[in-house]
């Protein structure tokens, strides 16, 4: 399990964010077409991410509030085209499916997603990641706030929930 502090926001300045990331020598990992299938569970969120770059079963618990929020994440590397999706669908049932195009960047331990989500629009995510407990939540929060300011993201654009929540509200 690792700890994240993360921010999700509506984005109308994705090109400016790309320019800033490039100017900071961000490590561009590529563009991934991801299908996130969320399953019906009682605690937290469980999703199967199927993409060309990232393939994981992800369970996370996160407070639903706008702005920086802590997320406790457990990742399980999954194999594309495995029977895992069928197993989970049969056992738990599907809550919602999120279809997105995601650009993935890293600067040190901070991961950036520039997302275009089907039926929702354009977003930016900032995830400060502490994978081994060596960074601490104060530093993670400081990193998130730094990039929030650098990207000039208005407070009104911050989103409290997940893409799944936004789709379920439609």
CATH label of the domain that carries residue 103? 2.40.320.10
Global confidence as pTM: 0.90
69-77 and 110-117 beta bridge pairing: unpaired
Q: Concatenated DSSP letters for 104-140?
A: EEEETTEEEEEEEETTTEEEEEEEEEESSSSS-HHHH
Task: Say yes or no to pLDDT of 65 above 80.
Answer: no
Task: Say yes or no to pLDDT of 58 above 90.
Answer: yes
Query: Using the 8-state DSSP alphabet, how is residue 108 labeled?
Result: T
* Torsion angles phi and psi, residue 20, rounded to 5: -65, -45
> What percentage of the chain carries pLDDT values higher than 70?
99
Structure confidence by residue, pLDDT tens digits, 143-167: 999 999 999 999 899 998 899 999 9
* Residue 143 CB coordination number (10 Å): 22
Alpha-carbon distances of 92 from 39, 46, 84, 86, 97, rounded to whole Å: 6, 10, 12, 10, 14
Contact between 46 and 32 under an 8 Å Cβ cutoff? The reply is no
Please tell me the predicted confidence (pLDDT) of residue 80.
87
Any idea which residue has 């977003």 for tokens?
123
Tell me which residue range forms the domain holding 59: 2-169
- The two structure tokens encoding residue 88: 């989970």
Structure confidence by residue, pLDDT tens digits, 84-105: 999 999 999 999 999 999 999 9
Task: Please work out, in degrees rounded to the nearest 5, the angle formed at the alpha carbon of residue 126 by the alpha carbons of 124 and 127.
Answer: 145
Task: Say yes or no to pLDDT of 66 above 80.
Answer: no
Any idea which residue has 């040190």 for tokens?
108
Structure confidence by residue, pLDDT tens digits, 105-146: 999 999 999 999 999 999 999 999 998 889 988 999 999 999
Please tell me the predicted confidence (pLDDT) of residue 145.
93
Mean pLDDT of 19-30: 97
Count of structural domains, the chain: 1
> What percentage of the chain carries pLDDT values higher than 90?
80
- The two structure tokens encoding residue 65: 């509030």
């Amino acid at each position: 399990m690792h700890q994240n502090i993360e921010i999700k926001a509506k984005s109308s300045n994705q090109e400016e964010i790309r320019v800033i990331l490039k100017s900071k020598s961000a490590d561009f990992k590529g563009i991934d077409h991801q299908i996130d299938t969320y399953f019906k569970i009682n605690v937290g969120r469980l999703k199967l991410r199927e993409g060309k770059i990232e393939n994981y079963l992800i369970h996370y618990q996160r407070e639903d509030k706008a702005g920086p929020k802590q997320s406790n994440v457990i990742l399980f590397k999954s194999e594309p085209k495995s029977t895992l999706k069928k197993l989970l669908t049969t056992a738990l049932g599907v809550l919602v499916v999120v279809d997105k195009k995601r650009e993935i960047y890293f600067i040190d331990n901070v991961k950036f997603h520039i997302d275009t989500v089907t039926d929702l629009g354009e977003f930016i995510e900032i995830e400060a990641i502490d994978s081994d407990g060596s960074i601490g939540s104060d530093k993670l929060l400081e990193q998130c706030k730094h990039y929030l300011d650098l990207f000039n993201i208005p407070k009104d654009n911050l989103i409290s929930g997940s893409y799944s929540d936004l789709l379920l509200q439609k």
